[in-house]
Structure 1
Amino acid sequence: MPAIPLRAGCAALALIAATPALAQTPSAQELAALVKAQAAEIATLKARLDRLEGQNPPVATAATAATAAQPSTAPDQQVAQQQSAPPLVITPFAPQIVPPGPADLDVAQARAVAANPAGVTTEWGAGLPVFRSADGVFTYKPRGRILVDVSSTYGSRYKGRNTTTTGMRALRLGLEGGVGPHFFYQFESDFSENEVDIVTAFLGWRNRLGSKVDYDVRAGHLFNDRAFEGSTGSDSTPFLERSTVSTAIIPQRGFYGIGIMGRLFGPDWHASVSVTGDRIDGQQATNDSRTVAARAHWNPIKTDRSLLHVGAWGFDEALSSAANTLTRSTVIGGRFNGAVRVSTGELLGGRSTTGYGLELGGYAGSLWVMGEAGRRVARLTGDRPDFGSKAWSLSTGFFLTGELPPYNPRLGSFGQPNVLSPTFDGGPGAIELTARYENLDYTDLALGGDGWAATLGVNWYLNSFTRLQLNGIHWRTHNRAGDFTGSDDGQTVSARVGVTF
């Protein structure tokens, strides 16, 4: 008699114990039926193990086919069907930018993810994987950003300005994800100054108001929606540093604040409103400053290869008693030379400020142009007059390799480009030439200075998330306070290696 598997033998003993007649005279037909049933179960388990180990699927037999038809193995069939389903492709908001992450999807894209379960999936996108649960409900993606800079200044009449420095513009780790089509979240910390700094950290909810309009609401530590370059992430700006409009016409708290923001999105426009307090800190002994901000953009012309951008923004802040110092010293020759700045001189006793600005630009084919202007009015205590600061910039760029500018029509800002022929695939990557003129004026104050800078640059995108940048800046300043007074000019050359996941 052939050997009986252990599990089959145990079943046989149970059958013998339960049936005295069989214990005495088990028939060959009954034992054969029992062995056949156990063989079918073993074949089913082997098929499941082969799928888990990634081996070739076993050849179906009559026993396995019969077993697979039973309700107990129907889930296995469903898993096999899900694993063979094609990966879900998220359509970006514009073909020239990389697809959005889980926290940046619109509700239609998020619903498509939830409605297309394909088993537990791991999809490699822009540098890091996107994980999706088997039912499509849970989505998760790690985030990272490494921007390494070097800067050298020469030509200044002040020796203290002619320096060569290195620094990390950004060194971030974080995550983003979603639960179902509506709930999403994002969190990032920055370590670039050799200390932990919480940057983006929020929870959000998205939905539709109609067939053409959707919205999202997010609460937490929020990045400003203010100005074109001010709303563009540091990993997506066409220059190593944002223009003076974004760095000078800004709330006293800076680029981030804790609060709530609501955004509306149409086919060719968006609008946002936010109410925020201070940045994340450990100071709860006094009131936070309060900032109300709004921004809107519109694309009155929008074709496959051209677009016109019109934007406006503004903010109003009531300053905390602990934040009434409005002294400002703004970089004009790159971020990593702290000596090349335009200064207001000492300015104390601020009560509130109001800022506003306009944006006008667009692209035609591979050429883009963007102009920005902004003004900030600071109201001071006592009988002192208001202080107004002004800034404007004009920027342009051209992709020699034929890419469209990485404009995001959903947000009215730049994103990461979709490189047509990455270097890692044997292509040239994407090569962009850039130029900018920017101006800053603090001369409403008795000790306020002014300055301007002209920049020429080249960006080489090896692929959609890796790039090299080189900027040459000619700058001029005229300060009436501080260590470097009077007229001065010089040149700064800066370079960056950047990777964004």
Structure 2
Amino acid sequence: MTHMMLRGGCAALALIAATPALAQTPSADDLAALVKAQAAEIAALKARLDKIEGQQAAVQATTPHAASQTAPQMAQQDAAQPLVITPFAPQIVPPGPADLDVAQARAVAANPAGVTTEWGAGLPVFRSADGVFTYKPRGRILVDVSSTMGSKYGGRNTTTTGMRALRLGLEGGVGPHFFYQFESDFSENEVDIVTAFLGYRNKISSKVDYDVRAGHLFNDRAFEGSTGSDSTPFLERGVVSTAIIPQRGFYGIGIMGRMFGPNWHASLSVTGDRVDGEQATNDSRTFSGRAHWNPIRTDRSLLHVGGWFFDEALSSAATTLTRSTVIGGRFNGAVRVTTGELLGGRSTTGYGAELGGYVGGLWVMGEAGRRIARLDGGRPSFESKAWSLSSGLFLTGELPPYNPRLGSFGQPNVLDPVLDGGLGAIELTARYENLDYTDLVLGGDGWAATLGVNWYLNSFTRIQLNGIQWHTNNRAGTYTGGDDGQTVSARVGVTF
């Protein structure tokens, strides 16, 4: 219709302009020149209109309800509203500048509207006037309290408090391809650098894109192990993530490449040790990878299949493989399953599998992992084994906050936030986990069963409560033999 209006207007103007000339009986050459000039004007106007509509189409791909708006309405709103980036799934909050895919980043760069500031999940996102530079502060505050009872050892029956995370950082992008993120944690009353990287992203085809990150990187390993501490459905990750792990832990300095398809992702990384001041010896070297696939995905259901591995060559300064894994919550260090003292480690290999999914508000996830440690001097290797089965149910209509791009959980998109006078989102959770170090002469074993409830006041504020029935059977350390008890833990968390 817009094209017809432009053509009609141009024709009318041409008729008015041509009237005096017609009265003087113009020649054929004059008429030909007039028609040629009118055609050039119409072509120029059409080219300008096509350009405007092309820009609006890019905005429409990332702006809710844009499909139902007319071009004039969108033009008016573009001047008054910042660009809104939709998430990779409607049940999670929109991604930050460092988590966009290249198509979303291009849409931001193609929609300059002056310097903009928009408020998302907790803190603002700043964009430059030309759309090239994007910046967002980020952080999380997780405050926990934990009380244990029922153990036959008085030293285990304690009540403690702690900061699970106290992070401040930033993330941003430069154009559609380059991005960065940096965070420090202060939870142990010390400055600890966690995520810190630079990255590049691009597309391979219309359906496949990739990114490459270099710096201090968070593991892509196991379902809960790849989920951030501010997004786990329980107060602490399960034993598959905390026990079947490289010796360096969750972070290492190196490079990671990730590839994303319509219903899958895969990653490979090579890293050294985490950030430290030790440069007198070689770093350990860890090569790791993970992939997930969603063979079934509808608006209300999904199936998740995943697998991962790591292989590490240990530094001469990291040969102690003694491990003591918490199983009754993070803030009771006495409730652990221990390996006993183990020295002379040479290398380790770990691998695991993930299977789960959701239907409506109900989700289920099973994980299993195994770690093989090889010792120097030709001594026999030993194995660590762990598995878990967890589930949750949203009572308030939300879908589980599953991120299909990464195959992990994110922050939920709460339908009826408390700050808007609503109820928020309520989730019931349950998990059983089992850990086995008994392949070692002094190794122990244990299990824990957890029931929990999560109340999400909005998409970035939550209150969590976990009740844990645990059992340990250690053959070394302070608390040996079979022991049972109960731990009740609670958390208030804010992520921005």
TM-score range, shorter chain: 0.7 to 0.9
Of the candidates 117, 121, 124, which is equivalent to residue 112 of structure 2?
117
Does residue 400 of structure 1 match 2:407? no
Q: 1:448 aligns with which of 443, 451, 468?
A: 443
| Residue correspondences, number | 422
**What is the match of residue 138 of structure 2?**
143
2:256 corresponds to which of 246, 254, 261? 261
Could you say what secondary structure the match of 1:382 adopts?
A: helix
The alignment status of 1:95 with 2:90, answered yes or no, reads: yes
Q: Please, what TM-score do these two structures have when normalized by structure 1?
A: 0.84
User: Which residue in the other structure is 1:380 paired with?
Assistant: 375
2:146 and 2:264 map into 1 onto residues whose CA distance is 38
CA distance in 2, matches of 1:264, 1:185: 18
Asked if the contact 1:83–1:119 (Cα under 8 Å) also holds between the matched residues in 2, the reply is no
Partner of 1:238: 233
Distance, in Å, in 2 between the alignment partners of 1:366 and 1:82 is: 34
Alignment of 1:35-74 (within 5 A): none
- Which sections of structure 1, spanning at least 5 residues, go unmatched? 1-79
Matched, 1:420 2:424: no
2:455 aligned residue = 460
Please say if residues 244 and 332 of structure 1, whose CA atoms lie closer than 8 Å, have aligned partners that are also in contact. yes
Query: 2:404, 2:109 → 1: CA distance?
Result: 24
1:472 match: 467
| 3-state DSSP of counterpart to 1:84 | helix
**Secondary structure class of the residue paired with 2:99:** coil
Please name the residue that 2:66 is paired with.
none
Shift of 1:91: 1.2
Q: Distance in 1 between matches of 2:80 and 2:291?
A: 40
Secondary structure in 1 matching 2:377: coil
1:85 Cα offset (Å)? 4.6
Residue in structure 1 matching 2:121, options 118, 126, 142: 126
Amino acid at match of 1:402: G
Q: Which residue of 2 aligns with 1:286?
A: 281
CA distance, structure 1, for counterparts of residue 354 and residue 191 of structure 2? 34
Cα distance in structure 2, aligned partners of 1:114 and 1:466: 30
1:312 partnered with 2:307: yes
1:493 maps to what in 2? 488
* Structure 1 counterpart of 2:214: 219
Alpha-carbon distance in 2 for matches of 1:495, 1:123 = 32
Task: Give 1:81 shift.
Answer: 8.5
The answer to whether the aligner puts 1:350 opposite 2:340 as a matched pair is no
Residue 81 of structure 2 is matched in structure 1 by 86
- Alignment of 1:153 with 2:135, yes or no, is no
- Which residue of the other structure, out of 265, 274, 285, is the alignment partner of 2:269? 274
What is the SS of the residue equivalent to 1:122? strand
For the residues of structure 2 that align with 1:164 and 1:224, how far apart are their CA atoms?
31
- After superposition, the C-alpha distances for 1:18-54 in whole angstroms (9 at most, x for unaligned) are xxxxxxxxxxxxxxxxxxxxxxxxxxxxxxxxxxxxx
SS of aligned partner of 1:355? strand
Q: Is the 8 A contact 1:203 1:218 kept in 2?
A: yes
Find 1:179's aligned residue among 159, 174, 177: 174
| Structure 1 residue corresponding to 2:428, chosen from 428, 433, 456 | 433
| 1:382 shift after superposition | 1.4
Report the secondary structure of 1:424's partner residue: helix
Q: CA deviation at 1:83?
A: 7.7
State how far apart, in whole Å, the 1-side matches of 2:211 and 2:78 are. Answer: 32
Contact 1:85–1:118, Cα closer than 8 Å, also in 2? no
Confirm or deny: 8 A CA contact 1:433 1:459 kept in the other structure.
Answer: yes
Deviations 1:101-127 (A, max 9, x none): 000000000000000011100000000
Alpha-carbon distance in structure 1 between the residues aligned to 2:330 and 2:348: 25
Separation (CA, whole Å) in 1 of partners of 2:301 and 2:76: 43
Given candidates 323, 327, 330, the residue that maps to 1:332 is: 327
> Where does structure 1 differ by over 6 angstroms across 4 or more consecutive aligned residues?
80-83
Distance 1:461 1:116 in 2: 33
**Paired position in structure 2 for 1:11:** none
The residue number in structure 1 matching 2:103 is 108
Equivalent AA in structure 1 for residue 489 of structure 2: S
Report the AA paired with residue 224 of structure 2.
Answer: E
* Cα deviation code 1:140-160 (max 9, x no counterpart): 000010000000000000000
**Contact 2:82–2:117 at 8 Å: present in 1 too?**
no
Alpha-carbon shift at residue 84 of structure 1 (Å): 2.1
Q: Given the alignment, which residue of 161, 170, 181 partners 2:165?
A: 170
Distance 2:378 2:122 in 1: 56
- Rounded Cα–Cα distance in structure 1 between residues aligned with 2:78 and 2:382: 64
Provide the secondary structure at the position in 1 that maps to 2:279: coil
Shift of 1:467: 0.2
Where does the alignment leave 5 or more consecutive residues of structure 2 unmatched? Answer: 1-74
Give TM-score scaled by structure 2 length. Answer: 0.84
Contact 1:82 1:118 in 2 (8 A): no
Report if the CA contact (8 A) 1:82-1:119 is conserved. Answer: no
Distance 1:303 1:383 in 2: 52
Instruction: State the shift of 1:82 in Å.
Output: 9.9
| CA distance, structure 1, for counterparts of residue 88 and residue 301 of structure 2 | 15
Q: Distance in 1 between matches of 2:479 and 2:209?
A: 51
Tell me the amino acid that sits aligned with residue 130 of structure 1: V
Q: Which secondary structure does the structure 2 equivalent of 1:374 belong to?
A: strand
Q: Deviations over 1:443-488 (max 9, x none)?
A: 0000000000000000000000000000000000000000000000
Match of 1:228 in 2: 223
AA in 2 matched with 1:303: T
Maintained 8 Å contact 2:293/2:305? yes
* Alignment check: 8 A CA contact 2:244 2:350 kept: yes
Alpha-carbon deviation of 1:383? Answer: 2.8
